[in-house]
Structure 1
């Protein structure tokens, strides 16, 4: 499947379920203390590195963007789905949200202080992960922290029906933390911490903290 095809399927699917998805995930962080602690640690790392704008890539309806903002982070959201961005702007009118793709981030080199991709790499095929992480490295300042959340496992599954019973056509890719860490190393990141957990966010979720290596060219 070429990039244009799976991106179009993913965009259409999330446009279709945007409202139902937002309702489903709106209060998940209230049920996930370990994830809240993870996001608080990320916010501290951004501040320790000097602060600045942080991109929530694959932000969906903006709940993680808003949570980081409440933690004092200057954050903005980017999502492939225009309908998701409409929901995010409606629910969080004081924050900035943009339509965009992590496969071609429209951000200047070394322009952001941190980046979070919270369960948003799960639809990216294996052969596209390298280019996506290269974009993450390019837009991050040297030493800038990266936070990834993803589903842990070995299988990929096609989802044909989603939130609210609406039709979807997206593949969900589950990956082992070691594999994701290896991809990050190849892309010019230093992995600093990793963990797995089970919660309302994921049956088995992986969390990786990494940092763009200082002196690594964009």
Structure 2
């Protein structure tokens, strides 16, 4: 599948189910105190660095964007025009735009935070480097990334396809994702793993991966970042 075909398939699938998706996940964080704690920590770190707003990439109908915006400047970008339409209707005080994570219309170093909640799961493995190139490009030095995804619990399976309710998706090796980010100067600082029984939808482990953009070749602790991990 070409890049254009993959994007069109994902866009069309989410356009068709945008209203259903919005209603289903509107209050998703209400009974997820640990999720909220991780997101709050990320927002606090971005605000403390004072390097720019948070970009919610793959924002869907904007529920997470609104949660972040209540804690500091944030805006949303999504591939689906219908998702963006719903986000603008429900959250009129927040900026939302259509766009692709692999070709962001954002300035180099223009954001202090990148938040991507289960948005990379539909990216074919061969195209994931393009997405992470963009994440690293738009993050300001010292900026923070919070990435969530469904994880594979088999280290021998770096990317495992699975049947998703909307469109084909992949589970990822957390170490693989961390290594790919580090190669681009975005260094993991923490990870939170929710075991499969905590994911009521599919029984897969869920991961939050927190990382920071290197500053002048140093990691966030001020130490040499060292060679990329593979």
The count of corresponding residues between Structure 1 and Structure 2 is 207
Residue matched to 2:209: 208
Measure the CA separation in 2 of the matches of 1:8 and 1:108. Answer: 25
CA distance in structure 2 between the partners assigned to 1:91 and 1:36 by the alignment: 21
Alignment of 1:190-201 (within 5 A): 190-197=187-194, 198-199=198-199
Query: Quick one: distance in 2 between partners of 1:202 and 1:74?
Result: 33
Structure 1, residues 44-64: CA drift from partner, whole Å, max 9, x if none?
101111252110000000011
Please say if residues 31 and 200 of structure 1, whose CA atoms lie closer than 8 Å, have aligned partners that are also in contact: no
SS, match of residue 211 in structure 1: strand
Runs of 4+ with >6 A deviation? none
Normalising by structure 1, we get a TM-score of 0.91
CA-to-partner distance for each residue in 1:58-113, whole Å, 9 max, x for gaps? 00000110001122x10000000000000100110111100000010000111111
The residue that corresponds to 2:228 in the other structure is none
* Unaligned runs of at least 5 residues, structure 1: 163-167
Deviation at 1:195, TM superposition (A): 1.6
| Aligned equivalents of 2:33, 2:124: Cα separation in 1 | 30
Distance 1:201 1:46 in 2: 30
* Partner residue in 2 for 1:86: 85
1:24 lines up with 2:60 in the alignment = no
Aligned to 2:161: 156
Separation in structure 1 between the aligned mates of residue 131 and residue 119 of structure 2, nearest angstrom: 11
SS in 1 for 2:140: coil
Residues 88-97 or 46-55, more deviating: 46-55
For the residue of structure 2 that corresponds to 1:11, the secondary structure is helix
Is it true that 1:171 corresponds to 2:168 in the alignment? yes
Say which is worse superposed, 193-202 or 60-69, in terms of deviation: 193-202
Higher relative contact order (CA 8 A, sep 6+): 1
